Amino acid sequence: MTAPDDDLTGKTIVLTGASSGLGRAAAIELAARGAEVAVVGRNPERTKAIAEAIGGSAFLADFDHLDQVRTLADDLLARYDRIDVLANNAGGLVSRRAITVDGFERTFQSNHLAPFLLTNLLLPLLVSTGGRVISTASGANLMGRLDLDDLNWEKRAWFGGWQAYGTTKLETILFIEELARRTGIAAYSFHPGFVATSFGADAAPLKIANFISAGRLGLRPEQGAAPLVYLASADPVKATNGAYFDRMKANGATNRQADQPGLASALWERSVELVGLAGKLAA
């Protein structure tokens, strides 16, 4: 997978959700290309193990707690004088609706609010060092339905969390589009493909599919990590800033709400209020 023209020596990459699955695979490959990788995870043992294995640094944060996201940002800013890439890869799907200590539905917080907050807290350093932002979205954005008056999914049926998950991935695409528009920073989102990891392992549809396929469902983590590695390494990325990639192909299929005028901006403004950044941002 490594190519001579993708040398990342001297680059600092912050990778969330890096202790397992495609995040772990991406961390290994990025380090192999010479990058200094900040391995961010919520499991202490796994996060420390992968950081030690690749010669990176371990940082702990549970995105169900926004205070831990703020502490993570402080720790990263104290440790690094440059960040070349922030890869927002942490997140997941929960089969039963639950509320975090911050008062938000878990999927919405971990998949959207937490990376939104982290990105904005690190943005001054990213901008000053010419960095870029990459966020893991999903083809599941097509099943999403964003309702700014029901971000916590209180008024709609849960159905195992799949539409809520798809909605947060639509939010990821909108966030990256708006981040690029407001700041000019290089920013991209991507669908990794269906990857055979522990993601959504408690969801009934995946249990059935994995049983039928004898555990052979989906891409290997290394394959799923390929778009993330490409977007972190390519110079330049051959796509319009803010683009959504379906694996390695720019301008993947998106929910029609992704083109709704003003929606990305409205989501941004609402998110600023929810994470307590009102009056603190330039963009």
Cβ-based neighbours of 153, under 8 Å, separated by 6 or more: 97, 105, 107, 108, 164, 167
Cis amide prior to 227 (ω within 30 degrees): no
Question: Annotated active-site positions, please?
Answer: 165
The greatest distance separating any two alpha carbons of the chain, rounded to the nearest whole angstrom, comes to 53
Cβ-based neighbours of 163, under 8 Å, separated by 6 or more: 143, 144, 145, 156
| E strand segments, 108-254 | 132-136, 186-191, 244-246, 249-250
Taking a C-beta distance cutoff of 8 angstroms, is the pair 38, 13 a contact?
yes
CB atoms within 10 A of CB 60: 17
| DSSP 8-state class, residue 100 | -
Instruction: Note the residue count of the chain.
Output: 283
Phi, psi of 189 (to 5 degrees): -120, 160
Task: Say what the alpha-carbon torsion angle 129, 134, 135, 137 is, to the nearest 10 degrees.
Answer: 160
Nearest alpha-carbon partner for 156 in 204, 205, 97, 215: 97
Residue type, 167: T
Cβ-based neighbours of 77, under 8 Å, separated by 6 or more: 121, 122, 125
